[in-house]
Amino acid sequence: MQPETLAVHAGERRPGPEGSVVFPIYQGTVYSVEPGTDYHDIKYHRLSSTPSQAYLHDKLAALEGGAAAVATASGLAAATTALLSVMRAGDHLLAGDVLYGGTHDFLTHHAEQLGWTYDFVDPSRPETWEAARTPATKVFLVESITNPLMRVGRLREVADFAREHGIVSVIDNTFATPINLQPLSLGFDLVFHSATKYLNGHSDLVAGCVVGSAPRIDAVRHTLNHFGGSLDPHAGYLLARGLKTLALRVRAQNSNALALAELLAAHPKAAEVHYPGLPDHPDHARAASLLSGFGGMLSFRPTGGAVAAAALVDAVRLPYPAPSLGGVESLITRPAVTSHAGMSREDRERIGVTDDLVRLSVGIENKDDLVADLTQALEKL
């Protein structure tokens, strides 16, 4: 089935409980247990095994083309649990040199406590990976599209390199979504998302998920069971509902973001535009070969520096000034003072997060309205 159909029908129970077309919320915490049931199979919220959770897991797995999935209480819970399910004290990790701030901070603040070592590598430079690999390397962690410069690494090569050396390949697919990319088909072992963003799409819940083979997800779920990061059934219900429109939302966001990127690329008051759908983006050819759409995220630097960037954020009328992403509404932010504010200026500038960088999460509004609004804001600079 195509993504639009999977989003609606995958995981559904036919007929549903009591004949319901919409799968209900199982809020109860107590279920009868058959003798001999394994601990991890007992129906209990913390064990991610209740009917509401199992239903959501089936839908998530189908969308990513995986055999199994598990939902988590946040995107960071998905990232950390995926790593903790594989890594042990003494192990080594390769990680992309541009990561979501929470993932980066988890490694830099807690890896040493866990007995892990790590090296950051450029996902676009395979010739550097072997020198960073050690006999203790167990995981290679990357993102499908990085934040906030929208870089797309050599993802096929990452999966191949990991497989060749017996390393578990893990990818954050939040920005691309399973509509634009299914990393498992490239050979990745585990895919995770901040489901807070595109998967839910309505800016009203916090959740995450991990998808992969049944044995891999068993290990992830058992780890999650012990760390207690399961997703509440009501949030899971909202997430399953949001997933049903995922394909429609993402395709609209792809189209809108490309239109705004093209406007900015031609505008004299935009000095630099970062969007993989533009022919002059450094990863455009690779992105075109990997992705079925270039995503709803873009960033740019207006002429005039940080003062102009702040003025632009104030001048737009449709995007909300807010640091999250992936919802039906457009959002605008300056990463240097929001999502990346916790990093030192040196680290920010090393990855291209300058004080004048503006990031747009493009929603599903009418394309012409978005173009008109950004045009009037640029003309005020």
Same domain, 228 and 273: no
Q: Tens digits of per-residue pLDDT, 22-60?
A: 999 999 988 999 999 999 999 999 999 999 999 999 999
H or E element in which residue 257 lies:
helix 246-266
Same domain, 347 and 236: no
Q: How many domains does the chain have?
A: 2
pLDDT score of 346 = 85
DSSP annotation of 181: -
pLDDT score of 156 = 98
- What is the DSSP pairing of strand 117-121 with strand 92-96? parallel
pLDDT score of 339 = 77
pLDDT score of 347 = 80
Of 192, 223, 243, the one marking the end of a domain is 243
Residue 349 has pLDDT above 90, yes or no: no
Same domain, 169 and 292: no
- What is the DSSP pairing of strand 358-361 with strand 297-302? antiparallel
Same domain, 171 and 261: no
Same domain, 109 and 162: yes
Same domain, 222 and 299: no
Contacts of residue 158, defined as CB under 8 A and 6 or more positions apart, other chains included, come to: 123, 140, 142, 169, 171, 188
Residue length of the chain: 381
Tell me, what CATH number does 338's domain have? 3.90.1150.10
Measured from the Cβ of residue 351, the count of other Cβ atoms closer than 10 Å reads: 19
Residue 342 has pLDDT above 80, yes or no: no
* Range 95-117 average pLDDT: 94
Same domain, 207 and 278: no
* Range 77-88 average pLDDT: 98
Q: What is the mean pLDDT of the chain?
A: 96
Q: Quick one: which of 302, 203, 293 has its CA closest to 253?
A: 293
Of 243, 262, 282, the one marking the end of a domain is 243
At 324, the pLDDT band (50, 70, 90 cuts) reads: very high
At 101, the pLDDT band (50, 70, 90 cuts) reads: confident
Same domain, 182 and 67: yes
* Range 106-118 average pLDDT: 97
Of 196, 218, 243, the one marking the end of a domain is 243
User: What percent of the chain has pLDDT above 90?
Assistant: 93
The domain in which residue 345 lies consists of 247-379
Q: Quick one: which of 24, 256, 298 has its CA closest to 147?
A: 298
pTM for this predicted structure: 0.96
- Gap between the Cα atoms of 86 and 84, Å rounded: 5
* Range 317-339 average pLDDT: 94
Any idea which residue has 């594989």 for tokens?
A: 86
Same domain, 268 and 226: no
Tell me, what CATH number does 76's domain have? 3.40.640.10
pLDDT score of 181 = 98
Same domain, 161 and 14: yes
Measured from the Cβ of residue 124, the count of other Cβ atoms closer than 10 Å reads: 19
